[in-house]
Amino acid sequence: MSAPSPSATLQNLFESLLDEDEIEEIVDVFSGLAVADQNPALNMGLILSDYSKKSAVAYFRVLAKVLETITCDELGPWVGMGIKISQKTAAAGIRFFKEAPGLFAQIPSPLLRQRFIAYGQSLADEDINLAVEYYRNAPLLLKENATSEVSFSEWVDIGRALGRLDYTLAIEYFRITPNLMPHLPMSLMPQWIQVGRNLATEKLLPTLLFMRHSPEVFSIIVSEREKELLLNLCYEVSLQNPLFVVELFTESPRIFRPFSALGLQSILLEKTTILAKYDATLATSLFLNAPNILSLMGDIALKFPEWVDEGISLLKKGVSVQGFFALKGRAGHDAMTRLRGGVSLASVSKTLKLFAEALSGKSVSIKATSKRDKEAEEPEAQENAEGGTEKAQENTAQKADIPFTDGENIYLPPHICYFPDDNLNFEWYKVATAYQAGYLEYNTFYPQMNETADLIQSLQEKYKKRGGFSSLTSFFSLFPEPSLVERLFEIAEGARVEASLRQEYPGLRKAMNRMRVHDLDRRPSLVGLSPRGVVMELLLQISMAGKTKEEIPNPLQKIVFELCEILGAVNDAGSSVAISMQVATKAFDYLYEGEENPDDMSGPMEAFEEEGIRTEGKGEDSGELQASTRGMLDPKKVEETAEIKKQYTDALIEKLKAAGLDLSSDAASAEISKSVEQGEVKLQSLKESKPSDQVEEVVERLQAEQGAAGRAEGKRAFYYDEWHCEEEEYLPRWCRVVESTVAAGENDTVEAILSEYHGMIHSITSAFQLLRPEGFKRIKGSRDGDALDLDALMVARVEMKAGMNPSDRIYIAHQKKERSVAVAFLLDMSGSTQQLLPNREKSILQVEKEALILMSKAVDAIGDQFALYGFSGRGKDTVDFSILKDFDEPYHHRVDQRIGEIESAIQNRDGAAIRHATSKLAAQPCKTRILILISDGKPLDDQYRGSYAISDTKMALREAKYRGIYPYCITVDSKGEDYLKGMYGDVAYMVIDKVESLPLRLPQIYKRLTT
C-alpha cells in the first residue's frame, strides 16, 4: 500500500485542531514548496507535532517564508530548538516559530545562522526563557556580521552566567545589549552588568532604568575612556547609594556638554569618582551641579580640577563639606574666589545685608544679579532709547551685572575682581550697596503726592494726558518719550541720593571718591554715539564723577553746561525725589523741544538715532560695559513687588480672620516679607499663583506661634531651626514638625506580643517593682523630726557634761521616697525599618514594637513618668511626629494598641524630631530627664543626608544636653561605626548587633540609666 500524500498527512494531522479552511491554507502553502524540500520539511513538522501540535501549526504556516532564507538542511537544528521550547510551553513554541521569518531574514550567512541556532540550543538546555529572549534579539548582532564570532560567543556566555545569578537581569540583558554593543565595548560589559546588579540590591526599577537608558547614553559618549570612567563612577556610587545612580547616569550627556568644550570631561569623571570613594552623596551633588559650577567659574573654568581637589582635601581633614560641592555654603564659593582672586558676594552678603538694613531702616536681602532672570521677567525692549548707553545696554542684556533693587532685595554682581586689593573690591560692594539702600532710605520710588501735584497737573495739561498720578512709572508715561525722561530722572536721582549719603554718612565719602574714579574709567567711549547719546553719557559722567572722561565736543558744550545747571538743583540740602522729577522735566523740555540747541542739533531731538551704541572704546572690555557702583533704577520692578505684597497681605489678613487671628496690615506685610526672606514663600511663586494659594503656610506658622494650632484631625504644627554645618549657623524655622496621636488598632498584634513574651514580662516587671521606693525612709541625726534619735541624744548629753556645745541633730525624720525620673522614647519609623531580619519572619519595626510594649510594662511598674514617640515623614515641611503615649497620659491597654498599629513610613529627619521630643521632655519637672533614641541607621530625608544630616543630628543631641536632658542613642546598624562616632560622639550610645535581642536589652539599658 502506498504512503499517504503530504496533503493527506497534513489533513489527518490537524483535523481535530483546525477547521477545513485553515488546513487547506496550510496545504496550499506546503504544496508551493520545492518538491525536493517537501519530504524533509514534512518529517520535521511531524516530529515537532509529537511534542506540540499547536507549535507544528505555527511551523507549517511560516515554513515557506523561512525556506526563502534558509536551506532545508538547516531545518533540523531550528526545529530541534523549537521542540525544546515547545516542551516548556506551547505558547512559547508558537511564538518561536511565528517570529522565525523576520529573524532569519536578518542573518544572511548560513554559517552565522548555524552559530545562531547552536548557541540557542545550548541556552535552551539551561533556561527556556533565556533562550527565547536570545532567539528574538541575537539576530541584531549577527546582522551583516555586526560582531565577531569571539564577541558573539562572549556575549552569549555573559548572558548565560548572569542567568545563573539573576534571571530577571539576564532577560533584560538579552533584550538590551544588541542595541548597546555597537556603543559599548565587550570589555566593559562585565562592569556594566555589575553596576546593574548593585542597583538591584535595593529595588529592581533602578536597574531596569539604568540598563534601558544605556544604549542612548553610550551612543552620545564617543570616547571609550570616558565610557569606562562613567561606569567606574556609577559603580562607586552604587556601592553606597544605588538610588543616585540612575539620575547621575541619565543626566551625564547633559553634564558633559560644557566640559567637553574645555576638554575636561575625563577630569570631571575622575575627580567625581575619587570623591565617590569617600561619599557617594557628595559625588552625586558635585556631578549634577557641575555645569552650574563651571558657569560660575567663568574665565577660570580650567581650574575646576583644583577647586574639586580643595573640597576633597577638606573632606580628608574631617571638615564637613556638605554644601561645598553643591555651592550651598560659603566654603565652595570661597575656594572659587581664591582661585579667581577678588571677592565673592556669598562671602560678604551677610555683612552687606546688615549695612543695607542699617542705612535703609528696613529688612532687605542681598542677592546675586544672576538670580534676577529666575525671579523676574526680562526688561522690555526700549525703542528710541537715546537716553545714554548704560540704560540701553542694561535693558537689552543683563551681562553687565548692574546693581539694582526691587524694594525687597538688593541685587549685586556675584563676584568682584576689579582691583588687586580685595579691600577695594569689598569697598566696591559697600558703595554699591549704599546707593541701593539710599534709594530705599530717601524714598526714591515713593514721591509724596502733595509735592508733585502741581507738576503732574501741568504735564497732563501740556501733553493732554488723562489719569491720576500713582507711581514713577505713571509719571514717565505722561511724556511723549518716556525712556528719555526716565533716563534723565535716573541721572538726577542718582546725584541726589549720592549727595544725601555724603552729607548724612561722612564715613562713606572717601570710599565713594575712590569708586567714582573707578566708575568713570569704565565708562564707554563717545565714539559712535548720536549727539543726544553723547549728551546723555556726558551728563551721567559729570553726575557720577564731577568730570568727563573725554573732552566735551565744542558743538555740545553749551547744551551740556546748561543741562548740568538744571540738574544741579538736586544737590541742594533737603531736596526730595519731587525735585528730581522737576529737574528731569525741565531737562526733558530742553532736549526734546530743541530750544537753543547747536546748529547740528536743530530740530526735534527725537529724530536722532544712536549709531553703534556698543562701539568699543577706552575703558571698555571688548565693548562690554562694566557695572558702576551707582547701579540702575527699576521703578517698575519695585512697584510690581509692592503690588504683589499688598495682594498677599490682604489675602493673609482674610485667612487669619477666618482662623480667629487678628493682625494689622503693617504686621501682615512684615510677615509676608519675613516669609519671602526665609524661603517659606518664593517671590516668583507669588506672581504665578493666586494669593490665597500661597499664604497657607504663613497662616499655619502664625497659628503655631500663637498657640492656635488646632488643625484638622487633631494635628498640630511646630517649627524648628536646623543646623547648617557649611554655613555654621542655624536655618531659622526651617523644619515643620506635624504632631498627631496614633489611633488605637486591633488587639491581635498586641495579644501576640503579650503571649510570646508572657514569661519575660512577668520577670521584668517583678525586677522593676523592686526599684520602686518603699514608703518612707528614716533619716537619723536630723534637726527636726517626729521621733528622738536615742543614739544621737546620748552623744549630745555626753558632750554637754564635758562642757561642749551639744549637737541639735537628735531627731529621726521620715522622708517620703521618690524617683524623679522622666523619660521619652523616640522611635525611628522610617521605611528601612520594614526590612526583615536574617533567618526571621519579623521586621525591625516588629521587634521595636515588642521592645516598646515590654519597656512600657517595666517603666509603669517602677512608676517613672514616660512618653512614647515615633517619627518619620518626607521633606523639611512634613516631619511626622507620632504620639503613642504622652507624659500627661496614664499607661493603659490603649497605648499598647497604638504601638501595635504603627507602620514603617518614609524617611527620617532625626534633628527635627529630636528637637521636638526635647521640647516636650524639658517641660517635665523631674530631676532626671532622659531621651532614648531608637534608630536603625543614618538619618535620611530630602536634601538631608550625609555629613549635613549627621551634623544636624549631632547638634540637636547637643542642644538636649544643654537643656539638662540626658540623651542615649540605641542603633541596630551594626555596620555604622563609620558615622556613629561622628553623630553620637557627644552622647552615650549603644550598637545592638542582634536586633532580635532589643526587647530584652532595652529594659536592662533603662535600669542601668536610672539607678
Q: What are phi and psi of 563, to 5 degrees?
A: -65, -35
pLDDT of res. 995: 55
Whether residues 289 and 376 fall in one domain: no
Residue 703 has pLDDT above 60, yes or no: no
Residue 42 lies in a domain: no
Q: What are phi and psi of 314, to 5 degrees?
A: -65, -40
pLDDT of res. 410: 93
Residue 62 lies in a domain: no
pLDDT of res. 320: 74
| Choice between 196 and 648, residue whose per-residue pLDDT is larger | 196
Residue 519 has pLDDT above 60, yes or no: yes
Q: Compute the average pLDDT of residues 856-876.
A: 86
Q: Is the Cα torsion angle 100, 102, 107, 109 positive or negative in sign? A: positive
Percent of the chain with pLDDT over 70: 79
d(CA 487, CA 931): 65
Residue 485 has pLDDT above 70, yes or no: yes
- 3-state DSSP call for residue 149? helix
Whether residues 811 and 824 fall in one domain: no
Question: Which amino acid appears at position 869 of this protein?
Answer: Y
- 3-state DSSP call for residue 481? coil
Give the confidence band of 908 by pLDDT, cuts at 50, 70, 90: confident
What pLDDT digit, counting tens, does each position of 551-610 carry?
Answer: 999 999 999 999 999 999 998 878 899 999 999 999 999 988 764 444 444 333 333 333
d(CA 463, CA 453): 16
| Choice between 1005 and 266, residue whose per-residue pLDDT is larger | 266
Question: Which amino acid appears at position 451 of this protein?
Answer: E
CB of 966 closer than 8 Å to CB of 737 = no
Whether residues 1000 and 913 fall in one domain: yes
User: What is the span of the domain harbouring residue 784?
Assistant: 776-816
Q: Compute the average pLDDT of residues 778-801.
A: 71
Exposure letters 796-834 (e unless 16+ CB within 10 A, then b): beeeeeeeeebeebbbbbeeeeebebbbbbbbbbbbbbe
By mean pLDDT, which of 64-68, 135-139, 289-293, 627-631 is the weakest?
A: 135-139
Among the candidates 816, 847, 871, a domain finishes at 816
What pLDDT digit, counting tens, does each position of 939-970 carry?
Answer: 888 888 888 888 888 888 888 887 888 888 87
Exposure letters 984-1002 (e unless 16+ CB within 10 A, then b): beebebeebeebbebbbbb
Highest mean pLDDT among 79-93, 408-422, 485-499, 764-778 belongs to 485-499
| Choice between 428 and 130, residue whose per-residue pLDDT is larger | 428
d(CA 287, CA 481): 50
| Choice between 618 and 476, residue whose per-residue pLDDT is larger | 476
Whether residues 203 and 222 fall in one domain: yes
d(CA 12, CA 44): 16
Whether residues 801 and 837 fall in one domain: no
Q: Compute the average pLDDT of residues 478-493.
A: 93
What pLDDT digit, counting tens, does each position of 163-220 carry?
Answer: 888 878 888 888 888 888 888 888 898 898 888 888 887 677 888 888 888 899 999 9
Residue 71 lies in a domain: no
By mean pLDDT, which of 32-46, 788-802, 975-989 is the weakest?
A: 975-989
Among the candidates 599, 630, 661, a domain finishes at 630
> For residue 718, what is the enclosing H or E element?
strand 716-724
CB of 908 closer than 8 Å to CB of 939 = yes
Cell of 21: 479552511
Structural domain total, the chain: 5
Tell the burial category of 762 from Cβ atoms under 10 Å away from its Cβ (0-12, 13-18, 19+): exposed
pLDDT of res. 624: 37
Q: Compute the average pLDDT of residues 870-884.
A: 90
The closest of 930, 986, 907 to 954, measured between CA atoms, is 986
Tell the burial category of 14 from Cβ atoms under 10 Å away from its Cβ (0-12, 13-18, 19+): buried
> For residue 759, what is the enclosing H or E element?
helix 758-769
What pLDDT digit, counting tens, does each position of 594-645 carry?
Answer: 644 444 443 333 333 332 233 233 333 333 345 689 999 999 999 888 888 7
Residue 437 has pLDDT above 60, yes or no: yes
pLDDT of res. 689: 54
Whether residues 380 and 247 fall in one domain: no
Question: Mean pLDDT of all residues in the chain?
Answer: 79
Whether residues 789 and 921 fall in one domain: no
Question: How far are the Cα atoms of 168, 782, 817, 818, 821 from residue 814, in angstroms, in the given order?
Answer: 76, 10, 9, 13, 22
| Choice between 976 and 766, residue whose per-residue pLDDT is larger | 766
pLDDT of res. 674: 59
Whether residues 199 and 319 fall in one domain: yes
Give the confidence band of 699 by pLDDT, cuts at 50, 70, 90: low
By mean pLDDT, which of 147-151, 219-223, 611-615, 666-670 is the weakest?
A: 611-615
d(CA 231, CA 214): 11
Residue 847 lies in a domain: yes
Q: Point out which residues pair with 811 in neighbouring strands.
A: 782, 788
Residue 663 lies in a domain: yes
Cell of 367: 542677592
CA 674 to chain CA centroid, Å, is 22
Residue 362 lies in a domain: yes
Whether residues 653 and 558 fall in one domain: no
Residue 176 lies in a domain: no
Q: What are phi and psi of 725, to 5 degrees?
A: -65, -30
pLDDT of res. 608: 31
Give the confidence band of 376 by pLDDT, cuts at 50, 70, 90: very low
d(CA 920, CA 933): 14
Whether residues 425 and 498 fall in one domain: yes
Q: What is the maximum alpha-carbon separation in the chain?
A: 150
Give the confidence band of 999 by pLDDT, cuts at 50, 70, 90: low
Residue 3 has pLDDT above 70, yes or no: no
Give the confidence band of 427 by pLDDT, cuts at 50, 70, 90: very high
Cell of 681: 514663600
Cell of 602: 536743530
pLDDT of res. 711: 40
pLDDT of res. 377: 38
Residue 9 neighbours by CB distance under 10 Å: 16
pLDDT of res. 602: 39
Among the candidates 630, 656, 683, a domain finishes at 630
Location of C-alpha cell 582635601: 313
pLDDT of res. 438: 94
pLDDT of res. 667: 61
Length of the chain: 1011
Q: Compute the average pLDDT of residues 264-278.
A: 91
pLDDT of res. 629: 92
Whether residues 674 and 547 fall in one domain: no
Q: Compute the average pLDDT of residues 362-370.
A: 85
- Identify the CATH number of the domain in which residue 825 sits: 3.40.50.410
d(CA 230, CA 269): 6
Q: What is the bridge-based pairing of β-strands 776-782 and 865-873? A: unpaired
Residue 121 lies in a domain: no
Whether residues 782 and 857 fall in one domain: no
pLDDT of res. 362: 82
d(CA 250, CA 211): 10
> For residue 934, what is the enclosing H or E element?
strand 928-935
The closest of 718, 722, 720 to 944, measured between CA atoms, is 722
